[in-house]
Amino acid sequence: MVDTMLTWAAEAEHNPLLPPLGEIIIGLIAFAVVLFVVFKFVAPAFEKAFVARRDAIEGGIERAEAMQAEAKAALEQYRAQLAEARTEAAQIRDAARAEGQQILEELRAQAQEESARIVARGEEQLTAQRQQVVNQLRGEIGALAVDLAGRVVGESLADDARRSGTVDRFLDELDGMSAGTASADGRGGNSAYVPQGDR
Amino acid sequence: MTPSALALVDVLAAEGGGGDSGFQAPGLGEFYPEVIGSFSVLGVSFEITRITIILWIATLAISALLLAMARNPKIVPGRLQFLGESGYSLVRDGIARDVVGPKGLPFAPFLVALFFFILANNLMSIIPFAQISPMSKFAFPLLLAMICWVIYIVVGIRNQGAGKYFKDILFLPGVPKPMYVLVTPIEILQNFIVRPFTLAVRLFANMFAGHMLLVVFSLGAVYLFQVGNYSVIFGPVSVLMAIVMTFFELLVIFLQAYVFTVLMGTYLNGSIEAEH
């Protein structure tokens, strides 16, 4: 009991809101220690770590971005090359087609020329042969006719010139008749070589 | 012997004796432990007590822990570094950057030191064998509040100029002139007396009351268990309350450390950015 009373008495001396100066100074020193530690070691270390981490992350992002840009550039390049190759191929194809066309045209023209020449020569030959045949026939028919007429009449026509004139006239008449028939029939072509199918 | 132990002896002695004195509630003596040693420097007397020893243990422990966490920091943090960075970022980003403002980052180390110093000292109130926080001695919260007080006034003068800083406090912009009769004394009181005082008292009172609660329930449990009558059945209730209050105290420990730092952040913000 006495002890307790003494304790109470002792407590009455103390005012909790009036601290002794010594305690404040001790507290100041203690806080200064923590302050020093934080200012000198902790804050710089953590700030450095934060900066390093941000750099690492940003560096990573930058690297990734650079790689992406590179890949994109490569892709663009490939696309451009592909497009170039395509246009080139198209050009080559067009050129080849044009060339082929030209060659074809040339060949056709050549062939036509050739065929025209062949046809022309054939016609020429044909005309010449016909002329030859006509002349031969004319001579032979004339001789035959004269011969026949001589035999029928029994006398030889003395004047060759007159004889040949008569024959020629006759043949011309024959010719004219034949030509008239041919045009009336609507068949073009050679008067000397009339087909007999109609008769 | 600690004051709590002395109180415990009182409790036991009271019962062992006549049994008529009843439960002796612990008193202010809790916060004035016996002086282990004392010395005097330049007329100022220093006393070495349990509480000053606890203060030094807390100070050195938090310093050592901070050093260990910040030693050799890596880009990919280890467990300890991560813990330290989380605490550091809580104050740096949550208070220095977001509360103080864009110009607040230079104050981050000070706020971090403040937060961890208070936290470590508060934690001593529930650490076994210490079980009293130096912050329940008014000297230490008062000291911290005074440091904050000096800093936010100096920062205000530096950032806004002495004239503008004091003018804005004395004559709050945007207030009708006749109102200054009322507003100016309030503002002076608010900025130069109430702020540091409430800052100190809030922390001190929380830790003081927390300690008293824990001691009362603990000693009460002992008393109820040994008093020897039907009171025994209330013993477990008292024990339970002591445990619940310990967890509550843990919450208060973190909360008060944070609140102190955040309030200092808002005061700094007011000093850095001109009043609007």
B-chain residue closest to A35, CA distance: B113
Tens digits of residue pLDDT in A156-175 = 555 666 667 777 787 788 88
On whether the CB atoms of residues A162 and A169 are closer than 8 A, the answer is: no
Range of the domain at A70: 20-121
Tens digits of residue pLDDT in A55-106 = 888 888 888 999 999 999 999 999 999 999 999 999 999 999 999 999 999 9
ipTM of the complex: 0.85
Tens digits of residue pLDDT in B146-168 = 999 999 999 989 888 888 888 88
Position A35: which residue type? L
B-chain residue closest to A43, CA distance: B109
CA distance A24 to B138: 9
Is the predicted pLDDT of residue B24 greater than 90, yes or no?
A: no
The residue with greater pLDDT, B24 or A73, is A73
Cβ–Cβ below 8 Å for B27 and A49: no
* Secondary structure element (H or E) that encloses residue B246, with its range: helix B235-272
CA distance A151 to B158: 165
CA distance B125 to B252: 11
- Establish if A61 belongs to a structural domain: yes
- The number of C-alpha atoms within 13 Å of A163 and in the hemisphere containing its C-beta is 17
Å between B180 CA and nearest CA of chain A: 32
Q: What is the pTM of this model?
A: 0.67
Over B58-81, what HEC string results?
HHHHHHHHHHHHHCCCCCCCCHHH
CA distance A34 to B113: 6
CA distance A181 to A183: 6
3-class SS at A156?
coil
* Residue that the structure tokens 């950032």 belong to: B159
Tens digits of residue pLDDT in B233-269 = 888 888 888 899 889 999 999 999 999 999 999 999 8
- A70 Cβ neighbours under 8 A, 6+ residues apart: none
CA torsion A27→A30→A33→A37, rounded to 10°?
-100
Give alpha helix (H) positions in chain A.
2-13, 21-37, 43-153, 160-185
Cβ–Cβ below 8 Å for B147 and A23: no
Tokens standing for residue B91: 């104050």
Q: Show which of residues 93-122 on chain B sit within 8 Å of chain A, judged by CB atoms.
A: 108-110, 112-113, 116-117, 120
- Establish if A143 belongs to a structural domain: no
Domain count, chain A: 1
- Establish if A36 belongs to a structural domain: yes
Q: Percent of chain A having pLDDT more than 70? A: 76
Q: A23 contacts in B (CB within 8 Å)?
A: 47, 52, 137, 139-140
- The number of C-alpha atoms within 13 Å of A79 and in the hemisphere containing its C-beta is 6
- Establish if A41 belongs to a structural domain: yes
CA distance B214 to B206: 12
